[in-house]
Structures are given as C-alpha cells and as structure tokens.
Amino acid sequence: MRYLLTFLITCLVASSSLNGITPSAPQIRILVVTGGHAYKVEQFNEMLSSLGDNITFQVVEFPAAYDMFLPENRGKYDVLVFYHMWQKITDEQAKNFSDCIKQGKPVVVLHHSICAFDDWPEYFDIIGGKFFHKPTTVKGKTYPVSSYIHDIHFNVKVSNPKHPVTKGLKDFEIFDETYKDYYVEAGVTPLLTIVEQTSTPIIGWTKKYGKARIVTLQSGHDVPTFENPNFRKLLKQSIEWVYKGK
Ligand SMILES: [Zn+2]
C-alpha cells in the first residue's frame, strides 16, 4: 500500500511537471475586477493567460463585483486585480470591500483603477494613491485636478531592483498613457519611477492595508503595455508577491 501511494504521488508530481507546473509554484486564483472604463478585453485576457500555469483568472464587473467582497465569497479567489474605474458605492458596499482587504485579501491595482471612487477617501488609503477628477482634500491638504496624456514613450526606472516585485527587471522602455499630479501616499514603498514632464515621478509602489499586501502600477492603458514583456513580468511578480503575504 505504501509503495502504491509513493508511486501515485510520483506520478502526480511527474504529470504536474509535464504540464509545466513546478510543484513548488503555488496555484493562485485571481479575480480581475473591471467596470467603469472600456478596454481591449481580448488582448488584456491574453496577457493574463500568459502569466503562467500557476495563475488562473476570472473577470467580474462592477456593480456585480460587490458580491465577491461578501464574506461567503472571499474563499473563491486568492488575489484581487483591479482594472476598473468604478465610482458608485454605498456605505454597506464600502464596508464589505474594505473588510475583505483589511482581513487579508491582497490586491494588485492597475492603471485607471487609480482614478476610481472619487468620493470614497478610504479607497485612496487602500491603494496608496489617487488620480483626482476634481480638486480633492486628503489628510488636510488640497490637491488640484490631475491630468493624463496618451501615447508617450518613456523609460521606466526600476528604483528598487531587490524587491521581489521587480527582481530580474532592468530599466525598460514603455509606450503608455501617463498621469500627472496624482496623489501618492507618503508611506508607500516606491518601486518604479520615471523622469517625464507629463507624469508624477513615482509610477509603481507597494504598501500594506490591514493584513493585505498591495501593489499599485500606474501603467497599463492599452495593448502595447499588455504585450510588453517587462510589464508582464512585473504583473506576474506583483501577483505572486502579494499572494505570499497572505
Ligand atoms: Zn488609460
């Protein structure tokens, strides 16, 4: 019996390896939250599919996505990936949303998700930043309206190459939309910076919110970024690192 078990386990490990899954790579189920902003769905999903066999995804759109923050649904996924620009939220939805993260559900925030929830200041604390559609006061300081410009070629500097999110990455070129004059919380750990007059200097950072690790990446507007191998590596390592904090 013992030999049979050993044999079966060996077969299982062997078949996992054949499928390209290394036994040590944890399986991570990501929940991609969209809504409130159009995007190229097919190419975006192609990027998600390219992240490796250990990462699987499902996509859910606001407002239906609010149900996934309810306690009974939190076990259905491991990592939240935000690619939404949703604005409308009730007090009850906000409480479930924030509890889900505070209690340890990690998040990777992409691009226009920095522009969501104009009237929910706790969201700025969760993600560690905010693009302002209107003058906004945060912690006693009033910020002007932020701006954006499409189709900019720029160089991304990996300011923290030892961090697990950026390990193995060198400074790289990207063609993307930039945001300027958005708020970045003072306590975040910067990972990526740029010197570009149309942008705020910090374009990637990490922080903790409650028990959850958060990574926020400003890039990710369109197909050139979805196809950028450096961005894909960054996204994969972000998902894996926030997951490990659980
Ligand atoms: Zn955009």
For residue range 133-159, what is the model confidence (pLDDT) as tens digits? 999 999 999 999 999 999 999 999 999
Ligand 1 centroid–CA 2 distance in Å is 57
Helices (H), the chain: 2-18, 41-49, 91-102, 121-127, 223-226, 229-244
Give residue 17 CA to ligand 1 midpoint distance, Å.
38
pLDDT band of residue 12 (cuts 50, 70, 90) is very low
What residues does the ion ligand 1 have nearby, CB within 5 Å?
112, 177, 221
Residue 165, SS3 per DSSP: coil
Rounded Cα distance between 188 and 200, Å, is 14
pLDDT at position 246 is 77
Q: How close is the Cα of 80 to the center of ligand 1, in Å?
A: 19
Q: What is the mean pLDDT of residues 181-205?
A: 97
pLDDT of residue 15: 44
Ligand 1 centre distance from Cα of residue 245 (Å): 29
**Average pLDDT estimate for 60-66:** 98
Beta bridge partners of 212: 209
Mean pLDDT across the chain, nearest whole number?
92
Distance 113 CA to ligand 1 centre (A): 9
Q: Is the pLDDT of residue 245 over 50?
A: yes
Residue 14 — very low, low, confident or very high, per pLDDT cuts 50/70/90?
very low
Share of the chain above pLDDT 90, in %: 88
Distance of CA 152 from the midpoint of ligand 1 (Å): 12
pTM, rounded to two decimals: 0.90
CA angle centred on 36, ends 230 and 226, rounded to 5°: 15
Q: What spacing in Å lies between the alpha carbon of 204 and ligand 1's midpoint?
A: 15
